[in-house]
Amino acid sequence: MNSSALLKECKSFCDKFDNNIMNETSILNEYKYFIVENNEERQIGFVNLFGFNEDKTDAELGVVVGDKTFWNKGIAYKSVKAVIEYAFKELQLSRIHIETGEKNTAALRLFSKLGFKKCDEYCEDCGFKFIVMESFAKEKYGIRKRSKNTI
pLDDT tens for 34-57 read: 888 888 888 888 899 988 888 889
Beta bridge partner(s), residue 34? 47
Q: What does the pLDDT read at residue 52?
A: 87
Q: What does the pLDDT read at residue 31?
A: 75
Averaged pLDDT for residues 143-150: 54
Q: What does the pLDDT read at residue 42?
A: 83
- The rounded percent of the chain whose pLDDT value lies above 90 is 43
Residue 110 pLDDT class (50, 70, 90 cuts): very high
Give the chain's radius of gyration (CA, Å).
16
pLDDT tens for 10-30 read: 566 556 666 655 555 555 567
d(CA 137, CA 127): 33
Averaged pLDDT for residues 126-132: 86
Residue 141 pLDDT class (50, 70, 90 cuts): low
Please say if the pLDDT value at position 4 is more than 90: no
Q: Which residues of 26-61 are buried (b: 16+ CB within 10 A; e: fewer)?
A: eeeeeebebebeeeeeeebbbbbbbbbeeebbbbbb
At residue 124's C-alpha, the angle toward residues 76 and 71, to 5°, is 15
pLDDT tens for 51-81 read: 888 888 999 999 988 888 888 889 999 999 9
Class of residue 86 by CB neighbours under 10 A (exposed 0-12, middle 13-18, buried 19+): middle
d(CA 74, CA 66): 14
**Residues 116 and 134: beta-carbon distance below 8 Å:** yes
Residue type, 107: A
Q: What does the pLDDT read at residue 84?
A: 95
Instruction: Please list, in sequence order, all residues whose beta carbon lies within 8 angstroms of the beta carbon of residue 107, skipping any fewer than 6 positions away.
Output: 63, 98, 100
d(CA 99, CA 123): 12
